[in-house]
Amino acid sequence: MSIVTIEFMMLNGGFKLNVGEPNVNGEGLYGDLVRCLHNPGSAEPWKTATPELKLSMAQLVAKYGKLLPALHRLNKKIQAMNIGEKFLVAENMPSDTSERSKLEALVEVLNQHDVSQVKVEWEKRTNEMKNFVGELLQSYNIFTPRFDIRITLGNVKKDDRECRFCSGTLASGSLFTKVAHAVPEALGNKTLILGDECDICNKYFGDSVEPHLIESFDIYRAFLGVRGKNGLPHLKYPGAEITHHEGIPVIIAKKIEFTESSISVDLGGSRKLTPAKLYRALCKITLSVLDEKHLIGLEDTVAWIRNDQPSVALPKVGTNILPVKNDDPQLSVAVFIRKNDDYTLPHIVTEFRFGWFVYVYILPFSRLDKQGFTSDTEFERFWSFFPMYCQTKNWTFEDLHSTKEITIKDSINVKNNSQNGTKPIDDADKQLEI
């Protein structure tokens, strides 16, 4: 029996429902769902949340909820909608990012403007999008995993699991007893889980690779109070201590220097970091969140992140500190997957954001790439193609190819950027010393 997927696009995100094949007589779940969503007397291609719709959805769940438990989650979303809220429903919604973003913009416009204005406003919005990222979306699909609900990526059932990093399966003796986080738990990810990561690979990444990324955020985590596996980080340095008290970061330090415009704290400590491992930890995130079908061609990348190897040339990694709004998520990942044969562009690019820190990096060693993006010309062509990055200032391009351990001295500089001198902006500044 073939499965039909009905997709809902709402203001607070989307929902995909796999229902059985439509019955020719219009009976069964599919027919009842179509009737339930039908707005009588309305010719508009969108749907509106009405009390009648909420009631008939509740009845549908009572009838079919046992057969299709996902209906309960859909019902929850529908019941939570404001009366009058407009949304889209379709079979076979486009999977192409540029087409999808147009529809997402339509949902927003529908809910912000009067019906008579929708056409004009939607055109305006899609033109703006075209001007800004139009060309980018011609070449890339964007995938952004959600962190607000619990999701297991890859195979959910243990019997079906195959470790993405060593190809181990239950049958070949691998175990899948640990919960493998697609983004390290220490960075606040409690919900995005990878099914296809065996216990041995999980331990390897957790012990040897991920700490190089996590520790680079230590000061910042302590500032923000991001809870990891062991609760709130409490950092101790020979000359200072950073802790969190009732939502406020507290720094106790021996050496604090005040000037009119800044405060700097010498933490008196240092830590070890291997640049290539930091890069590998970033790529581990990408390889964890990608859909299985996109892993074809990334075999060499998987081998590189899973095994310690001598240093090789790598593309530079763009880093920046970009303030986020209070209600923006603390953690976000956007993976750009090239969809054409323009080999001057990398196959896979990722933006990883943790609070104010942004890393933009190319996934190296893809077999779908024909160049390594290690030369300046190759890198500049890639960078200039992404308007949201090349039009933002203050990027630092880090060469993280070295497999040699370096020592980093930690310090904090609090700069006073405001006009009236009352609003300090914190800026954890890491000084590299080899």
β-pair partners for 228: 231
Q: Which is nearer to Zn ion, 168 or 233 (CB)?
A: 168
Instruction: Compute the least distance from the CB of residue 202 to Zn ion, in Å.
Output: 8
Is the CB of residue 176 less than 8 Å from the CB of residue 161? Answer: yes
- Angle of helix 97-112 relative to helix 118-139, nearest 10 degrees? 160
Alpha helices per DSSP H over 81-146:
97-112, 118-139
Q: Which is nearer to Zn ion, 177 or 391 (CB)?
A: 177
Count of residues in contact with Zn ion, rule CB under 5 A: 6
Instruction: Compute the least distance from the CB of residue 160 to Zn ion, in Å.
Output: 15
Q: Is residue 285 a contact point for Zn ion (CB under 5 A)?
A: no
Q: Which is nearer to Zn ion, 178 or 381 (CB)?
A: 178
> Which DSSP string corresponds to 234-283?
-EEETTEEEEEETTEEEEEESEEEE-SSEEEEEEEEEEEE-HHHHHHHHH
Q: Which is nearer to Zn ion, 23 or 172 (CB)?
A: 172
In the shown chain, the binding pattern of residues 199 to 218 toward Zn ion, with x for contact by CB under 5 A and - for none, equals: --x-----------------
In the shown chain, the binding pattern of residues 155 to 174 toward Zn ion, with x for contact by CB under 5 A and - for none, equals: --------x-xx-x------
User: Token pair for residue 375?
Assistant: 């030369």
Q: Which is nearer to Zn ion, 90 or 175 (CB)?
A: 175
Is the CB of residue 330 less than 8 Å from the CB of residue 313? Answer: no
- From the number of C-beta atoms within 10 Å of its C-beta (0-12, 13-18, 19+), residue 402 rates as middle
Instruction: Compute the least distance from the CB of residue 167 to Zn ion, in Å.
Output: 7
Instruction: Compute the least distance from the CB of residue 168 to Zn ion, in Å.
Output: 5
Q: Which is nearer to Zn ion, 199 or 266 (CB)?
A: 199
- From the number of C-beta atoms within 10 Å of its C-beta (0-12, 13-18, 19+), residue 354 rates as buried
Q: Is residue 336 a contact point for Zn ion (CB under 5 A)?
A: no
Total residue count of the chain as it appears in this document: 434
User: Token pair for residue 104?
Assistant: 């997402």
Instruction: Compute the least distance from the CB of residue 108 to Zn ion, in Å.
Output: 42
Instruction: Compute the least distance from the CB of residue 165 to Zn ion, in Å.
Output: 5
Q: Is residue 198 a contact point for Zn ion (CB under 5 A)?
A: yes
Binding site for Zn ion (CB under 5 A): 163, 165-166, 168, 198, 201
